[in-house]
Amino acid sequence: MQDIGMAKKDSEATSDSGIEAKAGDANYEYVDIKDLEGVGATIASKIKNAGYADIIALATANPMDVAEVCEIGEPTARKIIAEAREAAKMNFLSGLEFEDKRKAVQRISTGSNALDILLGGGVETQSITECYGEFGSGKSQIAFQLAVNVQLAKEKGGLEGHTIWIDTEGTFRPARIEQLAISKGLDPKEALQNIKIGRAYSSDHQILLVDKIPELINKDPKIKLVVVDSMMALFRAEYVGRGTLADRQQKVNVILHNLQRLADRFNLAIYITNQVMARPDVMFGDPTVAVGGHIIGHVATYRVYLRKGKKGLRVAKLVDSPSLPEGEATFQISADGITDAEEESKRK
Ligand code: GTP
Ligand code: MG
């Protein structure tokens, strides 16, 4: 385990992350802002300090904003943004290229066959999978299991990959990772070493940690999974009252889109968790709704609603998937981690 700690804008701006990292299997190149034509270290540092963490952020920036924060002329800013767009290869894909990109999609097993089948074969790269449900429903436990399973060989449901874990509630448990690793025949310390934890203390800090992901992947191209546990806790605490709701949703939207872009660029699986809140205004139907509501719903590719079932079982329901039928899967959380419910009952 390695703590990626407090992401400071200054250190981010001056850190030398180099170029050339080819992450994952998808052949996405990582180009640092300072390596764009017409951008030296000084301008790159100003750009990064202004919050444009990588070329994708720069490619989608407003030229007037960039001109102002970098104290350069607007034509120069336009040229730099055009360079960033070129470097980011923000072109249209042909149908065939799109198909090729989809072929690079890989899956991480959750540990339960039933849950994997529900998700179309496991948690997918190039997608955001959101699990929402009440406390103790198993959202974090699935994250622990994925962070271990991603390290397994492909035939065992893994990707021989590493994890970035953004912890917003202080609920990451090294001992649980070790326990799950041992149960999968992995070295527990090595398993922890392969997970990089960033503890977020505020929603702004959470945004910074997400911005830091390309740099971390550049250093460790084996990263295949990003966990955000939980996505909304800090936003929920900071933005109280409806007056600031639009503001909050806009920020959440930025994070989610950044995560989706990272998933596409680096062929990553993104797993986020979300609490539910009671809705006293809803008289019929499900009285719970995910915090962040429809904003996450539009961005997440797979949404899974978790609830506690009978005898300690958990029931996962796939909600609003673009390509898979809605359905349910039952699984169990034991000392060994996530397993199928039947397997468990057979064992007893
Ligand atoms: P919140 O973060 O509180 O919203 O809940 P969550 O959905 O993240 O719940 P979490 O994934 O932490 O699940 C907690 C449940 O998992 C517990 O109530 C236990 O039933 C089970 N669990 C957690 N750790 C262990 C463990 O080490 N062994 C076993 N057998 N069960 C565990
Ligand atoms: Mg949790």
Splitting the chain (348 residues) into consecutive groups of 10 residues, what average pLDDT does each group show? 44 32 40 85 87 82 88 92 82 80 93 96 95 94 98 98 97 98 98 98 93 93 97 86 72 88 93 78 56 67 91 91 85 96 57
> What CA–CA distance (Å, rounded) separates 5 from 309?
37
The residue whose CB lies within 8 Å of the most ligand 1 atoms, and thus the one to mutate among 131, 141, 338, is 141
User: 339: number of CA atoms within 13 Å, CB side?
Assistant: 15
Which single residue is written with the structure tokens 């955000």?
A: 228
pLDDT at res. 99: 85
Closest ligand to residue 311's CA:
1
Which single residue is written with the structure tokens 């499900």?
A: 286
**Residue 229 alpha carbon to ligand 2 centre in Å:** 7
Query: Residue 18 is encoded by which pair of tokens?
Result: 């180099």
Domains annotated on the chain, with CATH: 8-87 (1.10.150.20), 105-347 (3.40.50.300)
Which atom of ligand 1 is closest in space to residue 143's alpha carbon?
11
Which atom of ligand 1 is closest in space to residue 144's alpha carbon?
11
- Please report the sign of the dihedral spanned by the C-alpha atoms of residue 98, residue 103, residue 108, residue 111: positive
Whether this prediction's pTM lies above 0.75 is answered by yes
**Residue 247 alpha carbon to ligand 2 centre in Å:** 25
Contact 198, 223 (CB under 8 A): no
pLDDT at res. 129: 95
Closest ligand to residue 137's CA:
1
**Residue 139 alpha carbon to ligand 1 centre in Å:** 8
**Residue 36 alpha carbon to ligand 2 centre in Å:** 41
Q: In this structure, which residue's CA is closest to atom 23 in ligand 1?
A: 141
> What CA–CA distance (Å, rounded) separates 303 from 112?
17
> What CA–CA distance (Å, rounded) separates 54 from 44?
10
pLDDT at res. 304: 93
**Residue 65 alpha carbon to ligand 1 centre in Å:** 46
pLDDT at res. 61: 86
pLDDT at res. 26: 38
Q: Which residues line ligand 1 (CB under 6 A)?
A: 133, 135-141, 171, 176, 275, 333-335
Helical packing angle, 245-266 and 203-211, nearest 10° = 20
**Residue 236 alpha carbon to ligand 2 centre in Å:** 15
Query: Residue 323 is encoded by which pair of tokens?
Result: 């390509």
Q: In this structure, which residue's CA is closest to atom 10 in ligand 1?
A: 138
- Nearest Cα neighbor of 61 from 39, 80, 46 is 80
